[in-house]
């Protein structure tokens, strides 16, 4: 029997597979939730609450069973600026403004799903996706450099070397362990080993507890999330402050979630519902805003861990979320003992796993325009945010596509035995190609009867209709007739809808469709 290696087993999951994979994912969620909380500038318990509520809600009502959601770096790097601005207004105000922004973020995401806009993720080119993940990796890396500071000053001497050594050890464990055994998540193993080394070896280094206390916090307090309305002034000024962040968070969250959904679809050869996932993500973020979580979106790494471990159903995500809550309730004291270096090591491995290293291999193998888009999206992600970067990348890609297709409009010319001149049009007729389209016709020297054949072309938009109208007017002025042949049904509908702005009349013929300009209709009426 021929052996074939499969990275992902595409068979249907079982209850046992979902339970075990859910437990594995929950262990992997703890360190990243704490680390991303630091990135966002909030307490680790806020990150853990956020991961729990995101995971539970999206697993229950989301559009992609088997996909895992939680606190993510993509959202955290946007949140930190809002938290800092809020804290400048008063003690702990940043967290309250964050909760309010999450509620508004959830509303926006719900509207996105209700109006069925999730399908637009298909418009994101692969080059934009590569720039997206590369930029995200760089941003997460840069955010971790702040962990090498103490009291606002960069570490130096023994503390720096201790930190670097522990970070390197964590990364080494995460690299080597999977080659030996995959029974325990590599991230968890790295944190456990480094934590044990620091605790039992009496190594002086920053821990989660000391890091929180240095920032004025009191550590992780175990307990269930409680309902609270954000303590902020409900005013127009507040809305002006949080709305930009809510829009960015909503955009970043949906882009990463829908990208992850598409990836899981491909790996499992199944299909999820993007619109339903938008609603689930929005609902989860609203709940986070009212129950004290940092919110989040789908997680690419944890989703892959889940499906690779056999998780296919909603149960896997539910188990992961509930087990994470158990860690919060009964193991918060142990989480406070984790060295910061271990979390930095985990995040550095996330950076390595997130970055699309294949970018360097394809530099000389892809069009220059795609390379420019990758670099543009990566740079804008680092300088601004993921939403602006992806939107800019899509716009540039669309403009490049339009430019390339605009140059493809061609016309083959011939005169039949009746003296009628034929123009066979090739390529799409749309706003970008209308100018070139007009240059293909020799109105002054053409015979009295001209047929424009659209068998190999399509009328795409209002600009194309206007181009046809102008062409008809040019032939009308010199007393010549123009007919449009072989219009497709969708083209005919487009022309008919534009009857008030485009002087053409569509007549049905047994063999083809002909559109005759308004001048001919008037001539028949006068006769």
Beta-carbon count within 10 A of 301 CB: 18
The SS3 of residue 62 is: coil
| CA trace torsion 149, 333, 170, 342 (10° rounding) | -10
The SS3 of residue 484 is: strand
- Does the pLDDT value for residue 5 go beyond 70? no
243-253: b (≥16 Cβ within 10 Å) or e:
eebbebbbbbb
Tens of pLDDT, residues 311-359 = 888 999 999 999 999 988 888 778 788 888 988 888 888 788 778 888 8
DSSP readout, 74-121? HHHHHHHHHHHHHHHHSTTHHHHHHHHHHHHHHHHHHHHHHTT-GGGG
The SS3 of residue 116 is: coil
pLDDT band of 262, cuts 50, 70, 90: confident
Domains detected in the chain? 16-141+153-217+235-398 (no CATH), 410-526 (3.30.750.24)
The SS3 of residue 9 is: coil
Which residues, at least 6 apart from 69, have a Cβ–Cβ distance to it below 8 Å? 54, 55, 58, 59, 62, 257, 281, 284, 296, 297, 298, 299, 317
Tens of pLDDT, residues 8-38 = 445 566 788 888 888 878 877 887 788 788 8
The SS3 of residue 441 is: coil
- Does the pLDDT value for residue 516 go beyond 50? no
What is the pLDDT at residue 42? 87
Total count of residues recorded for the chain: 527
pLDDT band of 298, cuts 50, 70, 90: very high
155-169, 396-410, 457-471 — which one is most confidently predicted on average? 155-169
Residue with the bigger pLDDT between 290 and 86: it is 290
Residue with the bigger pLDDT between 476 and 297: it is 297
pLDDT band of 510, cuts 50, 70, 90: very low
Which residues, at least 6 apart from 93, have a Cβ–Cβ distance to it below 8 Å? 86, 87, 232
- Does the pLDDT value for residue 385 go beyond 50? yes
What is the pLDDT at residue 488? 72
What mean pLDDT is predicted for residues 64-75? Answer: 90
The SS3 of residue 105 is: helix
pLDDT band of 171, cuts 50, 70, 90: very high
What is the pLDDT at residue 335? 79
What mean pLDDT is predicted for residues 234-253? Answer: 91
- Does the pLDDT value for residue 514 go beyond 50? no
Structure-token match 């989480």, residue found: 335
Give CA 337 to chain center in angstroms: 34
User: Parallel, antiparallel, or unpaired: how do β-strands 481-485 and 449-459 relate?
Assistant: parallel
pLDDT band of 210, cuts 50, 70, 90: confident
**pTM higher than 0.75, yes or no?**
no
Tens of pLDDT, residues 70-123 = 998 878 888 988 998 888 887 678 899 999 999 999 999 999 999 988 777 777
Q: Are 28 and 185 in contact (CB under 8 A)?
A: yes
For the chain, the C-alpha Rg in angstroms (whole number) is 30
The mean predicted confidence, pLDDT, of the chain is 83
- Does the pLDDT value for residue 241 go beyond 80? yes
What mean pLDDT is predicted for residues 415-422? Answer: 90
- Residue 173 has φ and ψ, to the nearest 5°, of -60, -40
Q: Are 340 and 205 in contact (CB under 8 A)?
A: yes
pLDDT band of 501, cuts 50, 70, 90: very low
Structure-token match 């220059």, residue found: 368
């Amino acid at each position: 029997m021929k052996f074939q290696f499969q990275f992902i087993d595409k068979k249907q999951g079982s209850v046992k597979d979902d339970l075990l994979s859910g437990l594995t994912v929950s262990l992997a969620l703890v360190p990243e939730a704490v680390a991303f909380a630091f990135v966002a500038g909030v307490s680790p318990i806020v990150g853990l609450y956020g991961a729990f509520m995101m995971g539970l809600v999206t697993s229950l009502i989301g559009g992609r069973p088997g996909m895992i959601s939680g606190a993510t770096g993509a959202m955290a790097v946007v949140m930190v600026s809002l938290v800092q601005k809020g804290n400048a207004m008063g003690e702990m105000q940043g967290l309250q403004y964050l909760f309010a922004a999450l509620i508004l973020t959830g509303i926006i995401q719900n509207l996105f799903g209700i109006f069925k806009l999730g399908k637009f993720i298909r418009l994101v080119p692969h080059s934009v996706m590569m720039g997206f993940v590369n930029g995200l990796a760089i941003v997460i890396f840069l955010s971790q450099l702040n962990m090498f500071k103490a009291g606002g000053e960069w570490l130096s001497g023994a503390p720096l070397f201790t930190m670097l050594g522990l970070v390197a050890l964590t990364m080494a464990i995460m690299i080597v362990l999977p080659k030996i055994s995959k029974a325990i998540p590599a991230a968890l193993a790295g944190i456990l080993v480094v934590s044990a080394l620091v605790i039992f070896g009496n190594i002086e280094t920053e821990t989660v507890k000391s890091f929180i206390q240095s920032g004025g916090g009191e550590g992780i307090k175990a307990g269930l999330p409680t309902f609270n309305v954000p303590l902020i002034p409900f005013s127009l000024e507040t809305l002006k402050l949080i709305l930009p962040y809510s829009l960015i968070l909503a955009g970043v969250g949906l882009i990463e979630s829908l990208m992850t959904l598409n990836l899981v679809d491909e790996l499992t050869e199944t299909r999820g519902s993007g619109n339903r996932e938008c609603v689930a993500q929005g609902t989860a973020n609203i709940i986070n805003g009212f129950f004290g979580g940092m919110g989040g979106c789908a997680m690419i790494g944890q989703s892959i861990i889940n499906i690779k471990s056999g998780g296919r159903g909603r149960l896997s995500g539910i188990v992961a979320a509930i087990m994470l809550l158990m860690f919060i309730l009964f193991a918060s004291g142990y989480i406070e003992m984790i060295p910061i270096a271990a979390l930095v090591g985990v995040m550095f491995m996330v950076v390595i796993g997130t970055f699309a290293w294949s970018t360097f291999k394809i530099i000389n193998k892809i069009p220059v325009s795609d390379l420019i888009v990758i670099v543009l999206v990566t740079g804008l992600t680092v300088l601004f945010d993921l939403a602006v970067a992806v939107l800019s990348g899509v716009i540039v890609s669309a403009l490049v596509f339009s430019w390339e297709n605009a140059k493809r409009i061609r016309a083959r010319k011939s005169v039949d035995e009746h003296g009628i001149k034929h123009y066979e049009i090739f390529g799409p007729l749309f706003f970008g190609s209308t100018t070139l389209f007009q240059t293909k016709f020799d109105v002054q020297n053409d015979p009295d009867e001209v047929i424009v054949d659209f068998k190999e072309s399509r009328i795409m938009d209002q600009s194309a209709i206007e181009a046809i109208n102008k062409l008809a007017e040019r032939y009308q002025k010199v007393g010549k007739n123009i007919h449009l042949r072989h219009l497709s049904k969708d083209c005919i509908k487009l022309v008919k809808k534009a009857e008030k702005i485009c002087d053409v009349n569509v007549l049905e013929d047994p063999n083809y469709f002909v559109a005759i300009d308004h001048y001919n209709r008037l001539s028949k009426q006068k006769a």
